[in-house]
A and B are shown apart, each in its own frame.
Chain A
Amino acid sequence: MADFSLLMAGFSDVFTLYNMLFILCGVVLGQIVGAIPGLSIIMALAIAVPLTYGLDTLAAISFLISVNKGGTVGGAVPSILLNVPGTPESAATAMDGYPMAKKGKPMKAMKYALYHSVLGDLSSDIVLILLAAPLAVVALKMGPIEITALMILAFTVISGLVGDSLIKGLIAASMGFLLATVGLDPGMATPRFTFGLLELYDGVPLTAVSIGSLAMSGVLLGLLNLRKPDKEQHSAVSIKGGSREDNTVTFAEFWANRYVALRAFIIGTIIGAIPGLGSTTAGFLSYSVNKQAAKDPEAFGTGDPRGIAASETANSAVVGANLIPLLTLGIPGNIAAALLVSAFIIHGIQPGPLLFEEQGRLIYGMFGAMLVANFCNLGVGQFCMRFWAMVVSAPGTIIYPAAMLLCFAGAYVITGATFGIFVMVSAALFGYVMRTFGYSIVAFIVAFLLTPQLENSVLKARLITDDNPWELLNHPVALVLIAISVASMIYLGPRKKKPLDAEMPTPTGQ
């Protein structure tokens, strides 16, 4: 479908020193921001967008996309090394990444994460380049009824994440569910649980909640553990030592995860192509699906490379696939994509159905930049890994306060007001209590994240079908998804009786 000469011209535009430099800078910036707990990719992008106003269009877009790509790789670092996921999408990575790091293989865990992240990203970019138009059409066919079914399926996934106590897991999920109802209701715009606070009209800010409950609560726990006369007090993970085998990932080891990676890639690409879902959903869905598909699901959560591969491949595959609705329809798939739209518009380009006709050369240039950025990501990631390992080997008395400061900064910046800090601190205390008493924070966050989407689609589906449940029979995709949800609940149920350690381990280990 592509005009070959246009494609070559676009690709050759990228290979200038100027553009390559911006791609490299973008990747480095993205990885650093991603790796710092409390700072998110969204934040990095929002900061980077105004910086690109003065650049030429291709350099600007390449830079922003590189920041986004770098961020997805960097995000795994604190999850693995500190068990402090800076962003919700890397929380699934912590479930196996941190245990592996605790076992003395932090470099190996980071390498698994890096390779699978780049693999997922690269594959979904190729899908974007080759199949954007037909995939966009398919994604559009996912209407409110299908999305409702998909959300129900995603909720059943929580049951795979709750840890050893189903009841505690369900309590955690219910709390997330309840917290998500704060704000204006999507139908009549009636304020719910807002207590007269305008700041709560759009709901409790997700980023502040996730920084607080995932990152800050981990930091608090880490700080408190410092006071214990424990031998592993000085750093969360010991970097030094370890045999060569513990520090490298061989091709055979990488290849052993091919089916996990394939499933994760398919899940990530589909979730990414549907506007409004996101990389966190993809990461958890993939983790849970792969766990269910495994012969030995109980190995997940104990430092299994398949867990890292499942999460990282899927959340990175979303990045490329997210551009499918953006480029073909002009609909941004998530906040990161919305920021790219604003960059496009500032540079006088309107994303949408005419984009390829009007700006073909630029778009192929952008595709070229995406491919280049993936390889930069790999190179920079290899290099930065050592740097991060060094940073974490600093005493906890330095690491944790620094991370805490960044959590405060992140929460402030995200809401532009101290309100974000209040939310973040409350979420942190709440998260700390949950961790202490063994409630799954992951189940809480996933429920909090999915509920607004579910509520909105249920409302739309009811309005569209005029409350006629038989309409469901006209939606085979939704029927299949609901059947899978039922199957997954039945299948997961009995398995839960085995004592599994799927919960996010605390920094002291279990």
Chain B
Amino acid sequence: MRDATLANGMRIIVWPVHDIPNVALYNWVRAGSRNEAPGATGLAHFFEHMMFNGTSHHPPGHFDRLMEAEGGANNAFTTDDVTVYQDWFPASGLELVLDLESDRVARLAFTPEVIESERGVVASERRLRVEDNSHGLLAEQVQASAFVAHPYRFPTIGWPADIESWRLEDLQAFYRTYYAPNNLTLTLAGDVDPERAIASVRRFFESIPAQAPPPPVRAVEPEQVCERRVSIRRKAQTPLLQCAYKAPRAADPRAPAVSLLLSALVEGDASRLHRALVEDRQLAIEVSGHWQEGFDPGLLWLSLTLPEGADPEEARRALDAELAAVAADGVTEAELERARNLATVGLWKKLATIDGKAQMLGEYEVFHGHWSRLFDAPARIAEVSTEELRAVAEEILDPRRRTVGVLVPSSPPSASTAS
């Protein structure tokens, strides 16, 4: 494995793997909805779309057409913290992909007609993920209520009125600030020679000038002192319950304990909450969880899908009883061992593909300070004790530091069937 820092501050990490004749490339941009402001939410995500829509060298559509004709496919995603561009291509396509990737970092064009068309695409994506989706609709409200000061309250896809109103100047300013080489990390895994790959990256990227570092996100979310609640009535058949607890940032030293806690609670049929709420008491039909591991302290989510006609309050009380027990007594050594083993297998599954390797390298480099920390992960997982896990549970699973969201069907099922 090799890494390098270009003169303009851009980072590159390469993991050579020769199992298949392909390469996975991830370009990590340190810009997400965390870097947005009221009135222009969703900008980072919109930018993700615009990055495929033409440069001064290549008209709109060329990026995808050239890449696909060379055997490559691509995608991208935006989170609260980062925007990530992904390419998967045959090794022979490396030069073309680097050419295209550097071109859109150096010379993005902003064509007014394309901006308007892309607004429509993003609005459609929002309708798919939020407006027509009970989980998405509720999660958006919970997240917006969980933070009062920090921009983590913004939905990554943006508020509808903002999607309608971005201006060209907003896009240009965002591009200058965040799409500078000193704000990028490129991770590559696959059928390449690391030295030659780094030399190629230099050739395409090193001439792009660095910019002043983006302004730091200064907002610090104040300590949450009381539980917040949101409730939505919507045409649906089944109720939902979501609890979002304030949780540490990704780089927190307790991160392995937080991951293992979440796993012990919700991963698999033998997990604490699945067994108690889905199997034993049949109060829920599905339990899931997610920790938003970001640059700043974020949320640990527990989500329950309830059966038709269920009382969300009863489910919440049962959930609270289970969580209180874990906060007080922790989990058993067997439960911890189970979580450790699941984490180990999960890591190997990721590392079985070039895509997983490029992704993991980037996550550790961007969120944990250095890619090499990926290789400490097994030892850090092994070190977590039941007491550490209990202490983390006690701190995080505090009802005063959570936001509870409930979605209840707006009409009884018989009435909606008749309509």
- Are A and B a genuine interacting pair, yes or no? no
